[in-house]
């Protein structure tokens, strides 16, 4: 639905059908020539005409011919050649059949009832569907390569639908690689899937602005590629000079955009590789958005353990607070129960080993209630304390079904109400306190058995003692 419009009722539609032709003429008379294509047979009369020079482009003609539309939408090359013989014009505006009548604001307080339809051209139809041979015929017949009746060009269509051959043909015929849609997007911004890589390569070859911004969000192509986890696109853009730390209107750099994007388990490694590439290119890991969320905050929220470990190893500040007063540890604990397949315990463990603040002991029952389905997360948290005051509130915080599923672990937790922590654990806490902030650097270098090193770094055992 267009801006400033609303759906008209079906009863009123029937009563106003007699005005349809007048309203359609009113809609188009200020935009297109009054000439109409009456029938595809009229094109035979153009056989004897002199083909137009490439430098002159005829005004587009509105076409409602169903035969022509069927040939274009099905990619019928033979029919396209017959319907657009040499000497004819392919510079048409296609008005698809159908659509709804709506009240549309015309300016100056006037409203009128009109069909709201998406306009297109033969180039748009063939380019968006990958009909390369039909596209060549239309361009040879003088179709305007940058015509954009619906606010987008044929090049935008071919890139959005990942049609590299059509993209190449349009660019070879002079399509503007930096043309902007009515929504403020360039063609590179529409390369948002892995299949669009070849389109992006063609665009860059023909001068697409590698750091061009979208109109509303001020995203660069690198923002788009990072947000969508497109590793090959990011590598391509960086190779051609994309600026790695430009911010969009929300204060996000490409690295922030990648870290903040929700990730399924199968996406985690891809986003890790992408962020590693951006950081190697010089991306600032300390840059925060308008809400002071750093890449570490975002990676914790999306529970990407590999990425969290990479950021921490690269110097990310583990206790930076956002505007809400929350550190990265808060972000992981709030989502742990929803991201069990992402191994939230690894994120909590990494944060604690790099000196993260711990949960206030009085809030541990609430954390227990919220994260009880991830016993390893609870184990790591509890092993960061030398002493715990376990009481009935702790027992009540674990749902019965979770208690039944992880009975052995939670019985070991609740037994701490009667027994103190063991000497081995107390020794671990003391050593961790002495090495706070340096654990991951010092412990691997100690001449100790591997299992002891892992114990110091809060490895999981399935119980607490």
Strands, E assignment, 300-363 = none
Q: Are 263 and 271 a contacting pair, CB within 8 Å?
A: yes
CB atoms under 10 Å from CB of 35, counted, come to: 10
pLDDT for residue 374: 96
Give the model confidence (pLDDT) of 161-182 as tens digits. 999 999 999 999 999 999 999 9
Q: How far apart are CA 125 and CA 84, in angstroms?
A: 15
In a domain, 425, yes or no: no
Q: How far apart are CA 86 and CA 41, in angstroms?
A: 14
What confidence tier does 90 reach under pLDDT thresholds 50, 70, 90? confident
Rounded average pLDDT over 10-15: 46
Q: Which domain holds residue 181?
A: 1-43+59-208
Q: How far apart are CA 362 and CA 372, in angstroms?
A: 16
- Each as own residue / partner, the long-range contacts of residues 38-43 (CB below 8 Å, 24 or more positions apart, any chain) are 39/65, 40/65, 40/67, 40/68, 40/83, 43/83, 43/84, 43/85, 43/88
pLDDT for residue 269: 97
In a domain, 105, yes or no: yes
pLDDT for residue 62: 82
The distance from CA 221 to its chain's CA centroid, rounded to whole angstroms, is 11
Give the model confidence (pLDDT) of 103-134 as tens digits. 655 555 667 665 556 788 999 999 999 999 99
pLDDT for residue 437: 81
Give the model confidence (pLDDT) of 234-254 as tens digits. 999 999 999 999 999 999 999
Rounded percentage of the chain residues whose pLDDT exceeds 90: 72
DSSP H helices in 355-406: 364-371, 375-382, 392-397, 400-405
Q: Are 118 and 18 a contacting pair, CB within 8 Å?
A: no
Rounded average pLDDT over 420-439: 92
Length of the chain, in residues: 465
CA atoms within 13 A on the CB side of 149: 25
CATH code where residue 63 lies = 1.25.40.20
pLDDT for residue 60: 76
Rounded average pLDDT over 150-162: 95
In a domain, 98, yes or no: yes
Task: Say if residue 49's pLDDT is above 90.
Answer: no
Task: Say if residue 15's pLDDT is above 80.
Answer: no
In a domain, 392, yes or no: no
CB atoms under 10 Å from CB of 44, counted, come to: 12
In a domain, 84, yes or no: yes
In a domain, 174, yes or no: yes
Q: Are 135 and 83 a contacting pair, CB within 8 Å?
A: no
CB burial string 129-153: b at 16+ within 10 A, e below: bbbbebbbbbbebbbbbebbbbebb
Angle at 314 between CA 310 and CA 320, to 5 degrees: 95
In a domain, 441, yes or no: no
Please state the domain count of the chain: 1
Q: What is the mean pLDDT of the chain?
A: 86
Q: How far is CA 35 from CA 31, 146, 399, in A?
A: 12, 21, 74
CB atoms under 10 Å from CB of 299, counted, come to: 32
Q: How far apart are CA 190 and CA 224, in angstroms?
A: 8
pLDDT for residue 98: 55
CA atoms within 13 A on the CB side of 362: 0
**Which range among 37-41, 307-311, 352-356 shows the weakest confidence by mean pLDDT?**
37-41
Q: Is the dihedral of CA 23, 26, 31, 32 positive or negative?
A: positive
Helix (H) or strand (E) holding 258: helix 254-260
In a domain, 123, yes or no: yes
What confidence tier does 40 reach under pLDDT thresholds 50, 70, 90? very low
């Amino acid at each position: 639905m267009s801006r400033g419009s609303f759906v008209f009722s079906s009863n009123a539609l029937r009563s106003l059908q007699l005005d349809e032709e007048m309203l359609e003429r009113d809609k188009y008379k200020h935009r297109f020539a009054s000439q109409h294509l009456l029938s595809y047979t009229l094109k035979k009369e153009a056989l004897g005409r002199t083909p137009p020079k490439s430098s002159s482009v005829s005004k587009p003609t509105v076409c409602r011919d169903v035969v022509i539309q069927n040939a274009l939408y099905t990619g019928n090359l033979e029919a396209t050649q017959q319907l657009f013989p040499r000497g004819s014009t392919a510079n048409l505006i296609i008005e698809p059949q159908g659509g709804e009548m709506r009240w549309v604001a015309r300016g100056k307080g006037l409203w009128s009832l009109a069909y709201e339809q998406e306009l297109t051209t033969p180039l748009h139809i063939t380019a968006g569907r990958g009909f390369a041979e039909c596209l060549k015929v239309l361009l040879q017949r003088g179709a305007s390569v940058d015509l954009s009746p619906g606010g987008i060009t044929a090049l935008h269509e071919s890139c959005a639908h990942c049609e590299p051959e059509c993209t190449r043909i349009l660019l070879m015929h002079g399509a503007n690689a930096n043309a902007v849609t009515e929504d403020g997007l360039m063609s590179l911004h529409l390369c948002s899937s892995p299949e669009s890589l070849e389109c992006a390569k063609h665009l860059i070859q023909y001068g697409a602005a590698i750091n061009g911004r979208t109109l509303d969000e001020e995203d660069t192509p690198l923002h788009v590629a990072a947000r969508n986890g497109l590793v090959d696109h990011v590598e391509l853009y960086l190779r051609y000079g994309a600026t790695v730390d430009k911010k969009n209107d929300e204060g996000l750099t490409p690295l922030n955009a990648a870290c903040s994007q929700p990730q399924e388990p199968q996406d985690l490694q891809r986003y890790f590789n992408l962020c590693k590439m951006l950081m190697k290119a010089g991306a600032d890991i300390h840059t925060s958005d308008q809400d002071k969320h750093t890449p570490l905050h975002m990676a914790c929220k999306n529970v990407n353990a590999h990425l969290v470990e990479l950021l921490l190893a690269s110097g990310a500040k583990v206790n930076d607070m956002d505007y809400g007063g929350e550190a990265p540890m808060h972000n992981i604990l709030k989502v742990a129960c929803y991201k069990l397949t992402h191994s939230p315990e690894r994120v909590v463990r990494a944060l604690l080993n790099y000196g993260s603040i711990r949960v206030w002991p009085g809030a541990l029952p609430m954390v227990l209630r919220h994260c009880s389905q991830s016993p390893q997360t609870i184990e790591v948290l509890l092993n960061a304390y030398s002493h715990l005051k376990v009481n009935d509130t702790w027992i009540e915080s674990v749902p019965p079904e979770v208690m039944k599923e992880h009975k052995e672990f939670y019985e070991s937790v609740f037994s701490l109400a009667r027994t103190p922590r063991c000497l081995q654990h107390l020794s671990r806490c003391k050593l961790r306190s002495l090495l706070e902030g340096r654990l991951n650097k010092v412990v691997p270098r100690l001449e100790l058995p591997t299992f002891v090193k892992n114990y110091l770094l809060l490895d999981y055992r399935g119980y607490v003692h």
